[in-house]
Amino acid sequence: TKYIQELIDWGTEFDRESGKLAFTKEAAHSRRRILHAHGDSTGKEIVRALVAKARQEKSIVLMPFANTESLIVQDERCVGVRFLDPILRAPREIFARGVILCTGGAGQLFLHTTNPSVATGDGMAMAYRAGAEMADMEFVQFHPTALSLDDAPRFLLSEAMRGEGGVLRNKQGERFMPRYDERLELAPRDIVSRSIVAEMRRTGTRFVYLDMTAMSEDFLKERFPKIYETCKFYNLNIATDLLPVSPASHYCMGGVRTDLHGRTSIKGLYGAGEVTCTGVHGANRLASNSLLEGLVFGARAGRAMAEDNSKFKVQILKSEPETSNLKLETSVATAVKKRVKRLMWERVGILRDAESLRRALGELEQISRANLGASSRNFVSVAMLVTRAALWREESRGGHFRTDFPQKDDENWRAHSIQKVGAEISTSETINF
């Protein structure tokens, strides 16, 4: 409540009904508790307000399009970052008393994703290479309803559409979720995604349909304006047409291991948001909880960094930069990432098994031995972290589903996976240090 009010004070315009904040319901939630802004543009509105606030602060220097390559660690402490200056087009270093990673997730690892092009896992890879512990990397969430058209990106059709009464149908027009779960379309995302995959296989199709036709066009235009206009661009009317959908990678529950105040296993390095794993999402995040996570842990990490390092004096020492072949990066990055994305989708996707995972890991190890640039190296590193953990966990839990181990096994596997450079996967009962 505190941080929501702070956002409102900073100018965030959440939707209201009769002057009061409006709430909606999404999958696996028991009641209406989710705020939204401009119908279906909540994230965009929050970012707008935060950026505007940051620009007002004289102590904040924004450097858009700076490409961070690695963390600077000296005497087991993170003291800065190396990056490519977008104006000088040259490598630079910034030294600081503390560094907070807010670099987002790694949805682009997969061929089909709802994530933006920048969600390539660079922050995770940089932290891992610097020596930070990584937790629960096997848990990847696939959103059930991404728009599935040959000539369109995998645009997210919000969970709230099903929360407002949308239903899923197969090619015969049959509502199929009663066959799979008593919670129907509002079952958790992993269950709905696997149900859609099962139905596509059963009916021999590449997608199913989201049906919103029980609602009026006026309501849908007001509640989902961005989705309405996007579908209209592709000649679909969400009030009258069945919308072709299929699952796509959406969110990483795993990430850089942090405590509940954003501290990583490296002194001076903090994190907030999807780049981290705090444990609050377990093995399967609930809809809309990631925005709350960003608000709460962003504030906590900032406060912890300021308090922990108030007496630390930065010593600007000559660091040893990592080798990075920029020319090579531009020539091979696209090909490498395309190969990895298809490999991850086909072998480390919604349904996993030991043989597919071993093949994927072997191919990723082969790719990693090439002379890769920074971006490609990061991409492959995170793919290997996900694949290695998925092969290690011989059970099914949350966003991780093994067809060869389809049941949850609390007796042997109720623990978090921990990965660190140069060490075998270990376990921990908690994420908090």
Q: Which residues are catalytic?
A: 189
Residue that is written with structure tokens 């842990």 in the block: 297
Compute the CA torsion angle 305, 307, 313, 317 (nearest 10 deg). -10
How far, in Å, CA of 248 to CA of 110, rounded?
8
The token duo for 138 is: 């096997």
DSSP string, 173-209: S-B-GGGT-TTGGGS-HHHHHHHHHHHHHHHT-S-EE
Number of Cβ atoms within 10 Å of the Cβ of 59: 5
State which amino acid sits at residue 287.
A
**Helix pair angle (354-368, 374-392), 10° resolution:** 160
- 41 Cβ neighbours under 8 A, 6+ residues apart: 225, 226
| 5 alpha carbon, distance to own chain's centre | 25
Task: Pick the closest to residue 433 from 140, 137, 135, 139 (CA basis).
Answer: 135
Greatest pairwise CA separation for the chain in angstroms: 68
What is the C-alpha to C-alpha distance for residues 269 and 255, in angstroms, rounded to an integer? 14
136 within 8 A of 277, measured Cβ to Cβ: yes
